[in-house]
Chains A and B, each alone.
Chain A
Amino acid sequence: MKAFKLAFRNLIGAGLRTWLNVGILAFILILMIFQYGIYDGWNRQAVTDMIAWEIGGGQIWQENYDPYDPFTLEDSHATIPASMQGEIEKGNLAPVLVTQATIYPDGRMQSILLKGINPDQQVSDIPTAILSGDYTEIPAVIGNIMAKNAKLKEGDLVTVRWRDVDGTFDATEALIVGVFKADVPAVTARQMWIPIERLREMTQMSGQATLLITDQEYIWYGSEEGWVMRDHDFLLKEMSEMIRMKKIGGSFIYVILLLLAMLAVFDTQVLSIFRRQKEIGTYMAMGMTRSQVVRLFTVEGAMHSILAVIVGTVPGIPLLMWINSKGIGMPGDYEEFGMAIAERIYPAYSAGLILSVMLIIIITTTIVSFLPSRKISKMNPVEAIKGKLQ
């Protein structure tokens, strides 16, 4: 404890030099948290977007549904069980009916998916509200990727051909009432969103759905014959794996950042031991053992990081919070980009992240402070007190 007090007094006594180092460490601390946060936030954005646009709190699939196999669509629709009706009315579930269709923009042919959804649903961010209204044509909202590939824009009419439940062809015009921009290709590529009741009429699949998206706040505990709950673990598996990989790849960056912080401490420590030889000699002359002096200097060095943590929180917390609320704008136009990546990135900081960054900084600072201090143990106190270089 004595060592702590002494170390603290020494540090404060050193004035400007200490505060410079503490400032740097604090700055690096904030940076590390910020950079970790932005990397994490960037990665997490994909998941956040998928949840907001596509999967909500999870999806309940008709048991035959396989999003990667359009063949299954013919068999993967069923009447929504009565037990779910109440939840749909409460807004906890949003049924989606999916069917294959062909569109003919400018006489070219493209196969797409028609997805029926309630215009007044709140579960997904897809702007379905504009679908409600009295339209002669089928009102449709499409995502940015679809708009680009099919060269469609708001107000355009496009011929859509589909088959009803019995396989009879039907075709009519769809009116693009809106184009939305999202970073989730699963809702923006090769598909048109239309009112579910309309699609049910078109396909004669009254009261049916292919899947139901659950609200983020809602957990479906029910079980129904023929329906399967697909939770986040299932739906985000591929994405999570990718993020995990990116994190491993990114962790090397933190090693570099950490080295940067260590460089600062090491530099200071070497200098201060060099400059304070007389002081070291005096300590020894006063009866401190070498290891006590080493400990004193190590604690001094490490205390830089503790002070940095304290100093860092003052500008750090409001700064990080501010960045977090504003997000970081990414210049450029990502309209066509297929992965779930946003224009604004909101860094993600967790308490765990902040604490572990602090802990890592304190531990490594201690180690780095200790290394040059070992030199003290080899010092001759008499020479040291004279200030002779050793």
Chain B
Amino acid sequence: MSIMKKTQIISAGLIVGLLISGGGLMNAQYPSGDEVMDRMDRNMSSKNRVLTSKMVIHGARSSRTIESKTWAEGDQKSYSEYLSPAREAGTKMLKLEDALWIYSPSTDRTIQISGHMLRQSVMGSDLSYEDMMDDASYADNYKAEITGEETLRETKCWILQLEATTEDVTYQVRKIWMDEEKYIPLKEELYAKSGKLLKKTELYDFKRVQGRWFPGRMVFKDMLKNGKGTEFIIDEIAFDTDIPEHIFTKASLR
């Protein structure tokens, strides 16, 4: 569940973040990071998005699939509701800037996760709440530079390296493999300050939605930990719809 949220937010964050990022250094061989980011921006930019998705969690014993619907606006507002399985259905999550609320229908309670709790791991899992809320405002926090070219899954990609420019980012370095033609990211790697690879995201099955390329499936993997990773499948996505403003208020949780 936590991972689900994370993927939703990361996916949103990644996309939105990439759209507005910029300020890379020039490199004679390659286009500027700016330019690439800008192209990606044009591919994916939208005011808001509504998506229905499935997450497949590979547990120690079995794999489970959780379905949810998410409304997101910018990178600061997001609201999700779980649709299935029955145990999770009706659970809602609201994220506004630095605060996170979770509503559980079975207990009819809204629980706020804040402060120190955000940095704690979620129920002993590898993800902190903060991880889940990783809004990765790339433009504000990273400078982009293309450091090379590589063929990934028979697609020619730029390797885009994002270096943190501010201090309070979770990951110091991000590397993105960007399709040179479609300007869509195929893979992202997250690195620690020391340069150690921490996490990897791979994006597949790009579809054209409202004139934008959008991944149909993503696989997240914590590189330090054993395990199969987590799969995230986007069934439906719509951009620039009319999301009523009350969706992003606590009133919508109940």
Contacts and interface: CB of A to CB of B under 8 A. Distances in A.
- Would A and B touch once assembled, by the CB under 8 A criterion? yes
Interface of A: 71-72, 74, 102, 104, 106-109, 111, 159, 161, 163-164, 166-172, 204
Main secondary structure of the interface of A (DSSP, over half): mixed
Contacts of B65: none
B167 A159 contact: no
Contacts of A107: 224-227
B121 interface: yes
Interface stretch (B150-158, B188-196, B210-218, B229-237): B188-196
Nearest to A75: B116
Contact of B192 (A104, A106, A109, A171): A171
Nearest to A106: B226
B130 interface: yes
A156 to B, nearest CB: 16
Contact of A74 (B116, B172, B192, B226): B116
B164 interface: yes
B224 A172 contact: no
Interface in B158-172: 164, 167-172
Contact of B171 (A109, A169, A204): A169
Given A109-B224, A161-B192, A168 B119 contact: no
Contacts of B126: 102, 109
A331 to B, nearest CB: 38
Contacts of A72: 116
A111 B226 contact: no
Nearest to A71: B116
B225 A108 contact: yes
Interface string B168-206: 111110000000000000000010111010100000000
Given A159-B224, A161-B224, A167 B119 contact: yes
Given A164-B167, A167-B119, A171-B224, 19 more contacts: A74-B119, A102-B121, A102-B126, A102-B224, A107-B227, A111-B121, A161-B198, A163-B119, A163-B170, A164-B193, A166-B167, A167-B168, A168-B164, A168-B167, A169-B170, A170-B192, A170-B193, A171-B192, A172-B196
A159 B119 contact: no
B194 A172 contact: yes
B116 A168 contact: no
Interface string B24-35: 000000000000
Contacts of A170: 172, 192-194, 196
B147 interface: no
Interface string B121-163: 1000010001000000000000000000000000000000000
A379 to B, nearest CB: 82
20 contacts: A71-B120, A102-B121, A102-B126, A109-B224, A109-B225, A159-B196, A159-B224, A161-B224, A166-B167, A166-B168, A166-B169, A167-B130, A167-B169, A169-B170, A169-B171, A170-B194, A170-B196, A171-B198, A172-B192, A172-B194
Nearest to A159: B224
A148 B47 CA distance: 53
